[in-house]
Structure formats: C-alpha cells, structure tokens
C-alpha cells in the first residue's frame, strides 16, 4: 500500500520511512504540510501519517484541507504525550486514529494495518478469494493451502488488486504503488509482473482471478472476504 508520512523531525521521518518500507509499503515522506498537499494532489495514497506539530501550517489545518478537498484515505495522527486536546481536535478534524509520542513502531504498524483493513472493507488479517489466501501480517500468499513463491513486487500487486477486488485498477496506479519515485515508469514492467503473477495463481478448476480490461487496467474478478 502507498503511504504518506508528514513529519518535520528528520530522524523520526527517516525511521518511519525505513520501517514502513520494510513492512512492505511504498512510502513517501515529507517535512511539512505544503509538501504534503502537493503530493496528495499529484498521487493516490492509501493512508497518511501526520504529525500535528508541523512548522508553518499545522497538522490540524492540513487534515481539514485534505478532508475539505475530498481526500478520504485514513489518517493517523502523531501527538505529544498527555495532550488530550490534540487528540480530540485531530479526530474532530477528520483523523481516524492517533499514536502518542514516544511510541513503539509495532503499535503504530498495528494501528496502520487496522485502518487499512477497515478502509478496504476487511476487518481480519487475511483476505480470502476461493482457494487463494493472503496473510496481511506475514505478507504471504497461499493457493490451496500451498505457499506461493511471490516476489515483493508480485505480492504488492496481488494485495492491491485483492483490496480493490471487482474494481478496475489502472496500470498507472499500480506503477505508483511499485515505483513512486520513478518519473520514467514503463507500463511494460507491470504487464510482465502481472503475467508472472497470473501463472503462479492458476489453480485447479480454472481459477483465473485477474482479468485484463483492455485500455483501462486490471480487474480482480473474485469476491474477497
């Protein structure tokens, strides 16, 4: 999933970007609200982590602007210990959850995953489509109870398509998920990755969950639960 981190403290920003990337996410990190507004105007994000104590425009004002402009992705706020008023104001402005500084990364990661599951309609740590099971915590997939040997990119594509099951996902959105910093994205790369993924997913009984919608993108045709 593609995440935006808005944190002015450089060490914490770098730490979050590193750890969240290791958790399998695509992460864009910025130091202020103005950069965040630019990023959200240019790219699609699945979730944002926003520090309330930003320089210049505050985190609260940033959240209000994002919500008033129609951005509906989940927002998790970072707030100072014991400041209950910040928590209340952040949630009232449109945030979905909060973590109090200092925090353990494991708590933040668990809250992010819970928000991502709820936003995509899933409340469990797994997504199931017929014989295919996706373990969101372990970042693993299995077909007919047999583990699938997926590359990191193949897994990201599969998770994104399953979270957006029965919706057409454009190629350029998948490219953003995989290569957020590459300005010269080659759509042929997505075709190759999806082709490899399809071959690994072909199961008994004609299980072929990924369709190509010509000129538009890809569709995960199975209902996911």
For the stretch 96-139, pLDDT in tens is 999 998 899 999 999 998 898 888 776 678 899 989 999 988 88
**Kind of pairing between the strands at 2-6 and 47-51:** parallel
Residue 106 phi, psi (nearest 5): -60, -35
Q: What is the domain partition of the chain in residue ranges?
A: 2-119, 126-220
Per-residue pLDDT at 184: 57
| 65 — pLDDT class (breaks 50, 70, 90) | very high
Query: Which H or E element spans position 48?
Result: strand 47-51
Q: Is 196 exposed, middle or buried (0-12, 13-18, 19+ CB in 10 A)?
A: middle
Choose which CATH entry (3.40.50.300, 2.60.40.3080, 3.40.1110.10, 3.40.50.2300) describes domain 2-119: 3.40.50.2300
Residue 84 phi, psi (nearest 5): -65, -30
CB 117 within 8 A of CB 123: yes
Q: What does pLDDT average to over the chain?
A: 89
Fold of 126-220: Arc Repressor Mutant, subunit A (1.10.10)
Q: Is the pLDDT of residue 32 over 70?
A: yes
Q: Is the pLDDT of residue 179 over 80?
A: no
User: ∠ CA 76-18-165 to the nearest 5 degrees?
Assistant: 60
CB 149 within 8 A of CB 140: no
Per-residue pLDDT at 122: 66
Per-residue pLDDT at 185: 63
Per-residue pLDDT at 136: 84
């Amino acid at each position: 999933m593609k995440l935006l981190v808005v944190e002015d403290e450089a060490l914490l920003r770098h730490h979050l970007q590193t750890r969240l990337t290791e958790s399998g996410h695509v992460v864009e990190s910025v130091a202020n609200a103005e950069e965040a507004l630019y990023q959200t105007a240019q790219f699609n994000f699945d979730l944002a982590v926003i520090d309330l104590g930003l320089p210049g425009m505050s985190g609260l004002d940033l959240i209000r602007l994002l919500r008033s402009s129609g951005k509906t992705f989940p927002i998790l706020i970072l707030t100072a210990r014991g400041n209950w008023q910040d928590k209340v104001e952040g949630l009232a402005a449109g945030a979905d959850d909060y973590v109090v500084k200092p925090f353990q990364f494991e708590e933040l990661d668990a809250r992010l995953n819970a928000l991502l599951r709820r936003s995509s309609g899933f409340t469990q740590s797994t997504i199931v489509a017929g014989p295919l099971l996706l373990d969101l915590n372990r970042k693993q997939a299995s077909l007919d109870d047999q583990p699938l040997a997926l590359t990191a990119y193949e897994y990201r594509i599969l998770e994104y398509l399953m979270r957006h099951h029965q919706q057409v996902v454009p190629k350029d959105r998948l490219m953003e998920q995989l290569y957020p910093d590459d300005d010269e994205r080659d759509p042929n790369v997505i075709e190759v990755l999806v082709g490899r993924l399809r071959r690994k997913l072909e199961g008994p009984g004609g299980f072929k969950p990924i369709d190509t919608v010509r000129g538009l993108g890809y569709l995960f045709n199975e209902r996911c639960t």
